Chain A
Amino acid sequence: MEPFERVVERHGAMVLRVVRAVLGPVDAEDAWSETFLAAMRAYPDLDDSANVEAWLVTIAHRKAIDVTRARARAPMPSAQLPERPSRTGRPDDWDADLWHALESLPDKQRAAVAYHYLAGLPYKEIAEITGGSTDAARRAAADGMKALRARYDTAGKSHV
């Protein structure tokens, strides 16, 4: 079996993009940490033939549900995004507009978009993670992308 370090090295960036897309900037890093801690705990029992990306996204999905429930129980006093250093010097970085557009999607669409377009999972795997049929996962991803493009364009302008 591969050292767990290699799993973090190879998939850490993907999981970060996924939890950012699903949870937004405030909770993403906690979800990343909890995902990899849980993954490390379970790693010795992981089947050699398992799809590691799908396994990690499954764990991240559960952690995202936990975070969302905790958030619903104890709403944050402020919906303000934290100040973060800009990556490119452009003021629209960690793009609040992108998150607002993602946030406006129904949970299933946001998950399907993230798991397909950011994690690269096939719709069959996504259906196993989110529940429902493969076709429903495909539709959720397509509808989600359509809505996202309608509300946000890559020039950084939000239409929400």
Chain B
Amino acid sequence: MSDNIFAPLAEEDGTLARLHARLAATAEREGVLDVAYRTLDTPVGSLLLAATEQGLVRVAFSVQDHEAVLVKLATAVSPRVLEAPARLDQVAHQLDEYFGGKRDRFTVPLDLRLATGFRRAVVEHLPHIRYGGTESYAQVAAAAGSPKAVRAVGTACALNPVPVVVPCHRVVRSDGSMGGYAGGPDAKRTLLTLEAA
């Protein structure tokens, strides 16, 4: 500002946060909030949770760079993106229960538009792997209808738009070793250990 005569017009603490919350609520009510997001602190780090009006569209680990993920959502889904926690209340609550060992499945609506074709078939199969169990990439390939597409299963798991909630961490190598994970090996180990308890 070039002139301090206007200093009294600057915001007081909390004014913009209050206006932002009001904007998020109005945008939701008016059907303008295409993508709502929040972050959640968990034992596998900060998770970005994003939902369309249809359902949960993206879960991302901090190693995936939340800001980059939001830019991709703005491009792939809609740029009408706001931090608006209310739409994520249910999934955040279920994740808290899951990490507390009190929940073995998620019942939130999913919007799987970011997974298409074979990747979609893999993502739709993953919830059938039971809590505490694992399947090999080859088993998942067979279940998704393409027994030879073992490598493609690896790619589909790596690109799972909603990890943790859709349990790609339950897919491991045929020799029993863990294999890769979008959230990093420590996150995968944490989840498998949690479920084995």
Contact = CB atoms under 8 A, between A and B. Distances in A.
Contacts of B9: 16-17, 20-21, 98, 118
B182 interface: no
A105 B55 CA distance: 50
Interface residues of B, number: 36
Contact of A16 (B3, B15, B73): B15
A154 interface: yes
Contacts of A117: 1-3, 6
A33 to B, nearest CB: 6
B114 to A, nearest CB: 16
Contacts of A29: 15, 19
Q: Describe A's contact surface by its main secondary structure.
A: helix
B143 interface: no
B82 A4 contact: yes
B80 interface: yes
B74 A98 contact: no
B17 to A, nearest CB: 10
Interface residues on A, range: 35 or more
Interface stretch (A57-65, A72-80, A87-95, A124-132): A87-95
A93 B8 contact: yes
Interface stretch (B21-29, B92-100, B115-123): B21-29
B190 to A, nearest CB: 29
Interface of A: 1-5, 8, 12-13, 16-17, 20-21, 29, 32-33, 36-37, 40-41, 43-44, 84-85, 87, 92-95, 98, 117-118, 145, 148-149, 152-154
Given A13-B11, A44-B78, 6 more contacts: A12-B19, A16-B19, A40-B80, A40-B82, A84-B12, A98-B6
